[in-house]
Amino acid sequence: MIPRQETVLVVDDEIASCENLTLFLKHEGFAASYVNSGEDAVRQLQQATADVVLLDIRMPGIDGVETLKRIREKVSDCIVIMITASDDIDTALGAIRAGANDFLRKPVNFLELKHSMESELEKRRLRKENREYQKGLEEKVAEQTKSIRELYLALKKANLEIIRSLAEAIEAKDPYTRGHCNRVTKLSCALGMEIGLSKEDLEILEYGALLHDIGKIGVNEAILHKPSKLSEEEYKEIKLHPLVGDRIISGIEFLNRAELIVRHHHERYDGKGYPNGLPNENTDLLARIVILTDAFDAMTSNRPYRDMMMTNKAITIIKENSGTQFDPALVDVFLDKKIYLMDFPGEQ
d(CA 229, CA 22): 39
d(CA 128, CA 161): 13
Write out the DSSP string of 112-177. HHHHHHHHHHHHHHHHHHHHHHHHHHHHHHHH-GGGHHHHHHHHHHHHHHHHHHHHHHHHHT-GGG
Return phi, psi of residue 279, to 5°: -75, 175
d(CA 133, CA 139): 10
d(CA 183, CA 290): 11
Neighbour count for residue 325 (Cβ, 10 Å): 20
Report the relative pairing of strands 31-35 and 7-11 from DSSP bridges: parallel
Instruction: Collect all residues with Cβ–Cβ distance below 8 Å to 86 and sequence separation of at least 6.
Output: 57, 58, 105
User: One of 74, 216, 272, 337 is an active-site residue; which one?
Assistant: 216
Beta-sheet strand order (sheet of 79-84): 31-35, 7-11, 52-56, 79-84, 102-105
Comparing C-alpha atoms, which of 219, 190, 230, 199 is closest to residue 93?
219
d(CA 116, CA 102): 7
CB 261 within 8 A of CB 209: yes
Verify whether residue 216 is a known catalytic residue: yes
Neighbour count for residue 337 (Cβ, 10 Å): 14
Cα pseudo-dihedral 22, 27, 31, 32, rounded to 10: 0
Query: Known catalytic residues?
Result: 216
